[in-house]
Amino acid sequence: MFNRLRTGVDFRQDPELRIYRSRLANRAIAAIYIVVTLWLLLDIFFFIQNSDARRYSIAFDAAAGILLLTLTFAAYRLNHWGDSLAAGYLLAGSLLLFAMCNLIIFPNSLVIMGGLLFIPILIAGSIVGGTASFIFSGLATLALCTGWLIGWRLGASPSLLYQPVYGPLYLSSQALIHQTVGLLLFSFSRNIERNLEYLRNQTDQMTELAHTDPLTGLANRRYMIEQLDREFLRARRYGRPLALLYLDLDGFKEINDHFGHLFGDDVLSSAAVSMRSVLRSTDLLARIGGDEFAVLLPETDLKGAVDVVNKLRRALLALSDQLGTAFPKLMFSAGVAQLIPEDESIDDLLARADDVQYQAKATGKGEIRTQLDIQQLPLFRKGINDPN
């Protein structure tokens, strides 16, 4: 039974809300343990004082107390397994059942049990949330009316509550309070859920702003560094290839000076879209400066990285053809670097990519240079084609 209930965790529930309700459930469980234990101890004390008068009552109280403690322990286990909703339903249901049985067996306890019936509503509204507070407020009113009818037929005391005028007045006032409490708890629960949803959306937006270049929509330098650090550790651990490209658009300052910065911004956005369209979903294209881009290529060696550079160059040339003959050809200078065993951190790979990109920029427009141009490494396979 526990295993079936254990699989009923509502994973759609907000994680923070789940933690909040789990803590409330733990506090409710602790409070029930304390109250039931004190109640049983007091029953034992009064039974010792007057055993004949309380023999029947102590038997019911002992059975009810043991059942309550058992169900509360079951709720504790459910909450421990992460199902605070089921724990809340079990706690509220067990207390409602206890109050209902008392009203049926001991009609004279109408006032005391009427007060106890508010606890299941509070537990359902705070731990379960949603419409559960309405469900249990309706059940509490039904239980109270049932107990009153039984007491009225048996002539239970206090007799004033079972008179034709005062009885319905008492029941209607209690029902109104039940529904009011249920409505307040429902509103409180909905407000918490809306606030958490708002805060989560705000957090997502702030995270996106922190990781995204606002002009092009690409990843920014900060996010690229985070991803590079993650891929660096993975590549080192499993011995997989990892490449990094540095791209610098050629003559972009002249484009801004001649056509204006607004047009230049449009060109950057269009260039970002064109280059991203030829990359894999696992590749990361980032804008790291004014007209500088970086491409992180997991599972790619140096030769594969050069092939990617050629794809990016053809994408920009296609964009230039769309812009017309009056617009200069879009080109970039590229530096290509690959992870080597001697790299101690991502700084080594970043510095090498920056060095070869600077060398390509110094050579002329549209040049591509790899780290093989600044050092000879036996790691790399021969036959890497230089597109120039």
Along the chain (388 residues), what's the average pLDDT of each consecutive run of 10 residues?
40 69 90 88 72 62 87 92 90 92 85 90 90 92 90 77 83 92 89 82 76 89 93 93 93 76 85 92 92 94 94 90 77 92 92 92 87 60 39
* Contact between residue 244 and residue 294 where contact means Cβ atoms under 8 Å apart: yes
* Contact between residue 114 and residue 107 where contact means Cβ atoms under 8 Å apart: no
Asked whether residue 196 falls in the same domain as residue 230, the answer is no
CA 213, distance to chain mean position in Å, is 24
Asked whether residue 195 falls in the same domain as residue 267, the answer is no
From residue 53, how far is each of 56, 58, 111, 157, 176 by CA, in Å? 8, 10, 21, 17, 36
Pairing state between β 242-249 and 292-298? antiparallel
Residue 216 included in any domain: no
Asked whether residue 236 falls in the same domain as residue 129, the answer is no
Residue 139 included in any domain: yes
Asked whether residue 265 falls in the same domain as residue 322, the answer is yes
Q: 């900060």: which residue's tokens? A: 222
Residue 268 included in any domain: yes
Rounded distance, CA 15 to CA 31, Å?
Answer: 24
Rounded distance, CA 96 to CA 137, Å?
Answer: 10
Residue 74 included in any domain: yes
At residue 380, the pLDDT reads 39
At residue 155, the pLDDT reads 76
175: exposed, middle or buried (Cβ count in 10 Å: 0-12, 13-18, 19+): middle
Asked whether residue 143 falls in the same domain as residue 261, the answer is no
Asked whether residue 47 falls in the same domain as residue 155, the answer is yes
Residue 346 included in any domain: yes
The residues that bridge with 368 in the sheet, in sequence order, are: 334
Residue 114's domain spans which residues?
A: 2-206
Asked whether residue 18 falls in the same domain as residue 164, the answer is yes
Residues ≥6 apart with Cβ < 8 Å to 290: 252
230-252 per-residue burial string, b: 16 or more CB within 10 A, e: under 16: ebbeebeeeeebbbbbbbbbbeb
Rounded distance, CA 208 to CA 223, Å?
Answer: 10
Rounded distance, CA 319 to CA 267, Å?
Answer: 9
DSSP letter for 215, please: T
* Contact between residue 186 and residue 131 where contact means Cβ atoms under 8 Å apart: yes
234: CATH? 3.30.70.270
Rounded distance, CA 229 to CA 101, Å?
Answer: 63
Instruction: Convert the pLDDT of each residue in 127-177 to its tens digit.
Output: 988 889 999 999 999 999 998 888 888 877 767 777 778 888 989 999 999
pTM of the model as a whole: 0.58
- Joined together, the tokens standing for residue 294 give 């970086």
Q: 């509220």: which residue's tokens? A: 92
Asked whether residue 190 falls in the same domain as residue 276, the answer is no
* Contact between residue 299 and residue 339 where contact means Cβ atoms under 8 Å apart: no
The mean of the pLDDT values for the chain is 84
Decide which of 175, 206, 237 is a domain's last residue.
206
What's the structural domain count of the chain?
A: 2
Rounded distance, CA 366 to CA 250, Å?
Answer: 7
Number of H helices, E strands in the chain: 13, 5
DSSP letters for 105-135 = H-GGGHHHHHHHTHHHHHHIIIII-TTHHHH
Rounded distance, CA 113 to CA 92, Å?
Answer: 14
The residues that bridge with 284 in the sheet, in sequence order, are: 296
* Contact between residue 129 and residue 189 where contact means Cβ atoms under 8 Å apart: yes
Rounded distance, CA 226 to CA 315, Å?
Answer: 27
Instruction: Convert the pLDDT of each residue in 220-253 to its tens digit.
Output: 999 999 999 999 999 999 999 999 999 998 877 7
* Contact between residue 150 and residue 110 where contact means Cβ atoms under 8 Å apart: no
Asked whether residue 228 falls in the same domain as residue 95, the answer is no
Residue 53 included in any domain: yes
